[in-house]
Chains A and B, each alone.
Chain A
């Protein structure tokens, strides 16, 4: 329809007086609930929006993110699958040094040192790490992600997820279950015993089963799980069941001796699928990386001290702010005083349009994260305001099968002041404690405004 072909319907943004003048003429209109952008961002916003590459770059980036076809291709040891330098551990979030690392991060690193047999006891492990004799690098720098502390040591088994659309690969460790586990910073004997069982039994069995089953389409499982009440971050019960249904026959064929204990372990852990979902999300966001001019967020991650984001048009540079303490419910006698600041790479699910962004799909968990069903719907609806697209395959039945909001745009975050909604587990502050609760957390706005400022430096000169 051309502008002059009839009385137009009007969108108004700004002075309400001018909108009222349209109401007085009985002209149908949609009013934007506008407010000024985050303080100090007005100039940078306009410069980034003026970059002639932006619109096409963002369209391409979000198309690659949503077109990815993640398949679970195998289970391999980190030393063999990842490009790990010697004596190196990977960890969640942006880069961090031992002296700035939080309790759960230190606990997980100590546990991994003991697991690898590089130290005889906790004190020796502590010294090795404090002296920098074990190098620390972010998972994200090695095509990997890790939940909570996200510590990956060379012997650990990793899910290998291949993007059959673009040919990339992404990795995530195997989930240990809930309670006292390494990813929450626990490293007691039962933690290490479980990790040794995973090393000797779980990993080899899964690897063998996947060789029999062939690649499993994770995109299809995630799409189904969203329609069964999962949001793929704090609720993975449906997806875990769906994955086991695919794996069970192959497991029985490939590893008849251990299939029962493997199935019992995975079936007893509602979060078994989380790590596969994270690698699937990572495969999509990595496909959207390195598109010049794009303001799309390709990673959000926390190391327990800092919250960091990476942006498609800004390479592998991190933009950080202090990690916040989640607001949520606590296990047993734990309370907010026991909580560590936000930690983990699991925010890759939100980055890919799952987790908090898909809350409306998971009414069963809204009480767990302290709210009503209406809050979950409102959370998802608000995320459409800061995202570039609606996912073509991941849909929410309760919203009329609308696609999940996907592709966070730094400029939209700065313009609206709306920060990504993140669902998360809460780790204990003291090394060795483990999980103390779960809830919601707000990222620091400065991570996004710093990225915006960096985009102005890379903006093409007109």
Chain B
């Protein structure tokens, strides 16, 4: 018989992405219909009530555990194992106090950079700790007000450090990928990016052409706005200008209203077509332009409908929309879709729903981004839905040969499911357009 078990646990905190992963694992257990493990915020309480759970009064600092099923109590036992497996890296011994703030962590280790991904309303405290400690910081968090961004970047200028973000999804520093980042060979190209997925497409294409990058420095999508005035872009360009490993600097941004200072080194400003930009960079370096790897396929489905862009990357979505010149494009990585849930590069739920909703005869164009931080096996997440989808599916597969998901295995799996696969997003968009 199915029962509801609802428990509030005090003094336990895990971030929302971790808890969503735990909820999913528990929901997949035999004898469990649904499990909600979440901090008891008003939003999460509403979510659990919508599922029909009766909830006691709760404090946002409590951990809500609501399980329905024949073996609901078994889920609670499993939860303990999952929570301890997902505990933040604890200190070496019991007598060690783990750092509770970035300030405390910075005082005890010789770090080079801080990666902040707490919810946006709390991000300033951690980021300002980093800058005050003289450390560069990548603010992955979104939803940070612009005046906080400006204050942070002004303080960073005083301290001689770089603020990447807020809302910075990607950075690669001397081969270390922060956030969503591809495994790239070392090389002469330094990238300054106001757009995370744009930088990922460009650097992956260069990598496929045998050209590596020195660093990818994200600056956040708002850095080149008139208010922020390119504070971080200017600093990042100056840093790359001084960096001996960098020969050529590329600025990736969606038509910036503010233009940063031009460096002394060779400089390329990305156009709206990132594949064309990659080719431009290769020519500047005197390198041949290869055929971009692609695995076209004919799904055998007649096209009678419209083009539907189902994207996870904002810049990729805009690029594809521009190249295709027609169709309906939705960026599921937009703030409007990511409130209270993980980014679609991690969690396929929203795009699986979108795939299930397309009509027969439509063409679906979607991006799949590989690399650290992203879905460890996106083909496994989407192949079934693509195979069942009544539309023709075209995938822009953004990845490098070194990515942990294995670019070629992913391409083969998507193709097996019936999708045409391109490593160039622009080529994928042209292909999709040509099917109409």
State the CA gap A403–B13 with chains docked (Å): 31
B126 at the interface (CB under 8 A from A): yes
Q: B17 to A16, Cβ gap below 8 A?
A: yes
A462 touches B151 (CB 8 A): yes
B151 touches A50 (CB 8 A): yes
B113 touches A10 (CB 8 A): yes
Q: How many residues of B contact A (CB 8 A)?
A: 76
Partner of A37, one of B122, B135, B151, B373: B122
CA A12 – CA B174 in complex, angstroms?
Answer: 17
Binary contact readout A24-37 vs B (1 if CB under 8 angstroms, 0 otherwise) = 11010111111111
Q: B18 on the interface (CB 8 Å rule)?
A: yes
Asked if A13 and B114 sit within 8 Å, CB to CB, the answer is yes
**Cα distance A33–B15 in the bound complex, in angstroms:** 10
Instruction: Mark the stretch among B92-100, B254-262, B390-398, B411-419 that contacts chain A.
Output: B92-100
- Whether the pair B109, A3 counts as a contact (CB closer than 8 A) is no
B312 touches A (CB below 8 Å):
no
Question: Contacts A385-B97, A385-B101: A46 and B15 contacting too (C-beta < 8 A)?
Answer: no
Task: Choose from A17, A21, A52 the contact partner of B18 (Cβ within 8 Å).
Answer: A17
Q: Is the CB of B88 within 8 A of A55?
A: no
Minimum Cβ distance to chain B for residue A28 (Å): 9
A384 to B122, CA, bound (A): 21
A16-B14, A18-B117 given as contacts; is B101 within 8 A of A11 (CB)? no
How many residues of chain A are within 8 Å of chain B by beta carbon? 56
Whether the pair A11, B61 counts as a contact (CB closer than 8 A) is: no
Q: B357 an interface residue at 8 Å Cβ cutoff?
A: no
Structural contact, B126 and A13, CB atoms closer than 8 A: yes
Contact of A49 among B13, B121, B124, B173 (CB under 8 A): B124
Cα(A24)–Cα(B376), bound, Å? 12
Stretch at the interface among A71-79, A145-153, A362-370, A411-419: A411-419
A15 close to B (CB within 8 Å) = yes
Interface segment out of the listed B140-148, B194-202, B316-324, B325-333:
B140-148
The closest CB in chain A to the CB of B215 belongs to A4
| Among B176-184, B264-272, B278-286, the stretch in contact with A | B176-184
Quick one: which of B97, B109, B240 has the most chain A CB within 10 A?
Answer: B97
Q: What residues on B are CB-neighbors of A16 within 8 Å?
A: 14-15, 17-18, 86, 88
Across the interface, name the chain B residue whose C-beta is closest to A27: B176
A45 to B123, CA, bound (A): 11
Interface residues in A73-104 by Cβ distance below 8 A to B read none
Knowing that A4-B215, A39-B61 are A-B contacts, what are 17 other residue pairs whose CB atoms are under 8 Å apart, sorted by A's residue number?
A: A3-B112, A8-B112, A12-B115, A14-B126, A17-B15, A21-B181, A21-B373, A30-B99, A30-B105, A36-B60, A36-B61, A45-B122, A46-B121, A46-B124, A50-B124, A378-B95, A385-B104
Chain B interface residues toward A at CB < 8 A: 13-18, 21, 39, 59-61, 86, 88-90, 94-106, 108-119, 121-122, 124-126, 128, 130, 132, 135-136, 140-141, 147-148, 151, 161-162, 173-179, 181, 214-215, 239-240, 243, 245, 342, 346, 372-373, 404
